[in-house]
Amino acid sequence: MADPAETCFSWGTLRERGTARVRELVRQGAQLPVRLWRWAPIIQLGAQHRSRVERHLLSLGSHDRYLRFGYPASDERIRQYAQSLDFEGDEVFGIFNRRLELIAIAHLAYLQDTTAGRVLRMAEFAVSVRATARGRGLGNRLFAHATRHGRNRGVDRLFIHALSENTVMLRIARQAGASVQREGSESEAWLQLPPVTLRTRAEALLARHLAQLNYAYKLQTRQICRLVDRLSA
């Protein structure tokens, strides 16, 4: 499957379709997930984004890698992790900047019972944000986005395993109502999720369409800029 960033779209057509779809969802009772000025365009990533995920993780500094993975992950271990991501069984979300670079990624891993071969009603959350994009609440928004998707997949408990010194991640969990247990240098956070509702499903659809519209706009803008550069060269 081709990377969407390399595909040319008609922005006018996408805008018309996206606007009509958003209006339809609002009429059905969906509400904006957050205020527009606080909204972040979160895209569900797929296998076509694997190389972009790898580049994002490789761009993390040594301390950030330590907090994200719980150990000082080498470049090779990060590449192995990126190649092992299951984009179909799990869910991976990302936020792109206007240059279509991933500045934040969340991984929602759905845990399985290996003996019974069935999916348990729980998931593990992990997140990373580029240093230059911090202080904007992207981690909080990715966490809220992941909890909504988890509820829609029937998950009733969200799990976070983090180093105790990762105070930012643990604060996000506590603010969401999670119970945090510390055992020396490591901590575990558990968040009980309410059942899925029609509203959570509608909000997830609305957020997805808005994010796709935003991505298409950034893509079209980049293509126009490249064309202008070639013509002016």
* pTM summary value: 0.77
Q: Is the pLDDT of residue 119 over 60?
A: no
Residues 73-101 pLDDT 10s: 999 999 999 999 999 999 999 999 988 99
Report the mean per-residue pLDDT for the chain.
Answer: 84
Instruction: Note the pLDDT of residue 145.
Output: 95
Q: How many domains does the chain have?
A: 1
Instruction: Note the pLDDT of residue 34.
Output: 40
Distance CA 166, CA 143 (A): 15
Q: Where are the beta strands (DSSP E) in 164-232?
A: 179-183, 186-192
Structural domain of residue 214, as residue ranges? Answer: 4-232
DSSP-based three-state secondary structure for 120: strand
- Which contacts of 27-30 are long-range, i.e. CB under 8 A and separated by 24 or more positions? 28/202, 29/198, 29/199, 29/202, 30/199, 30/202, 30/203, 30/205, 30/206
Q: Is the pLDDT of residue 14 over 50?
A: no
Largest CA distance in the chain: 63
Domain of residue 159, CATH code:
3.40.630.30
Q: Is the pLDDT of residue 17 over 60?
A: no
- The type of residue at 3 is D
pLDDT > 90 fraction of the chain, expressed in percent and rounded: 64
Instruction: Note the pLDDT of residue 218.
Output: 86
> For the residues 29-46, what does the mean pLDDT come to?
67
Q: 118: buried, middle or exposed (CB in 10 Å: 19+, 13-18, 0-12)?
A: exposed
